[in-house]
Amino acid sequence: MDEPKIKELVLDVLKLHRPPLPDFASFLAELKGIEIVEVSLVEMDEKTETIGVFLQGEDIDYSILEEHMGKQGASIHSVDKVTVEA
């Protein structure tokens, strides 16, 4: 039996102002298994942005995604929705 695969994630993410949102979305789209990335600004303060991130793909590896985001100084605050296919 195949392992369940993450197909969609909705995340609350804290990131620095740099990179800008289009560049950050493209950076996330580089990962294997991710096909669609949507990023929206939720809140901005002096040094950081809180963003909503929607990801869709065939097999999203959460731990690799989390590590990849960290390379840009971003951290996942919460997983607000997840869709898994068995």
Domain parsing of the chain, residue ranges = 5-77
Say what the pLDDT of residue 1 is.
Answer: 65
Say what the pLDDT of residue 83 is.
Answer: 98
Say what the pLDDT of residue 77 is.
Answer: 97
For β-strands 75-85 and 34-44, DSSP reports them as unpaired
Render pLDDT for 42-84 as a digit per residue (tens, 0 to 9).
999 999 999 999 999 999 999 999 999 999 999 999 999 999 9
pTM passes above 0.85: yes
5-77 CATH fold: Alpha-Beta Plaits (3.30.70)
Say what the pLDDT of residue 2 is.
Answer: 81
